[in-house]
Amino acid sequence: MKILGIETSCDETAAAVVEDGTRILSNQIASQVEIHARYGGIVPEVASRQHLLSVIPVIERAITEAGVSWKDLSGIAVTVGPGLAGSLLVGVNVAKAIALSQGLPLIGVNHLEAHIYANWLGDDSIDFPVVCLIVSGGHSDLVLMKGHGDYVVLGRTRDDAAGEAFDKAARILGLGYPGGPAIERASKEGTASIPLPRAWLKGSHDFSFSGVKTALLRLVEAGKVSSVADAAASFQAAVIEVLVTKTVAVARGRRVKKVLLSGGVASNGLLREQLIKHSPLPVLVPLPVLCTDNAAMIAVCGYYRLWAGRADSLGLDVVPSLKLT
Ligand code: KG4
Ligand code: ZN
Q: Are residues 264 and 146 in the same domain?
A: yes
Confidence category of residue 68, pLDDT binned at 50, 70, 90: very high
Per the structure, the count of domains in the chain is 2
- Tell whether 231 is covered by a domain: yes
Give the other-Cβ count within 10 Å of 64's Cβ. 11
Confidence label for 41 from pLDDT (cuts 50, 70 and 90):
confident
* Ligand 1 surroundings by CB, under 6 angstroms: 10, 136-138, 163-164, 166-167, 178-181, 184, 263-265, 267-268, 292-293
pLDDT given at position 237 = 98
Residue 266 CA, ligand 1 centroid: distance in Å: 8
SS3 127: coil
221 C-alpha to ligand 1 centroid (Å)? 26
Q: Is residue 155 scored above 90 in pLDDT?
A: yes
Whether residue 254 is predicted with pLDDT greater than 90 in this model: the reply is no
Q: 193 and 263: one domain?
A: yes
Provide the pLDDT for residue 34: 92
In a domain? residue 106: yes
- What ligand 1 atom has the least distance to the C-alpha of 83? 6
Same domain membership, residue 270 and residue 138: yes
Residue 67 and residue 35 in contact, taking contact as beta carbons nearer than 8 Å: no
Element (H, E) at 23: strand 23-31
The alpha carbon of 219 and the centre of ligand 2 are apart by a number of angstroms equal to 31
Would you say 121 and 300 are in contact if contact means Cβ atoms under 8 Å apart? yes
152 and 225 co-located in one domain: yes
* Count of residues making up the chain: 325
The answer to whether residues 268 and 183 touch, using CB atoms and an 8 Å cutoff, is: no
- Identify the CA nearest to 75 among candidates 121, 151, 16: 16
- 240 vs 38 pLDDT, higher one: 240
Domain of residue 79 covers 2-118+290-307
Q: What is the structure's pLDDT at 322?
A: 97
Number of neighbours of residue 102 by Cβ within 10 angstroms: 13
Q: What percent of the chain has pLDDT over 90?
A: 95
Calculate mean pLDDT across residues 286-303: 98
CA–centroid distance, 31 to ligand 1, in Å, is: 13
**136, 252: one domain:** yes
Q: Could you tell me the CATH number of the domain that includes residue 180? A: 3.30.420.40
Ligand 1, residue 9: give the atom nearest the CA: 6
Residue 319 — φ and ψ, nearest 5°? Answer: -135, 85
Give, for ligand 1, the residue of 292, 294, 301, 323 to mutate: max count of ligand atoms closer than 8 Å to Cβ.
292
Among the listed residues 201, 273, 191, the one whose alpha carbon sits nearest the alpha carbon of residue 240: 273
* Omega within 30 of 0 (cis) for the link into 178: yes
Taking only the tens place, the pLDDT of each residue in 102-152 is: 999 999 999 999 999 999 998 889 999 999 999 999 999 999 999 999 999
133/225 same-domain check = yes
Residue 316 lies in a domain: no
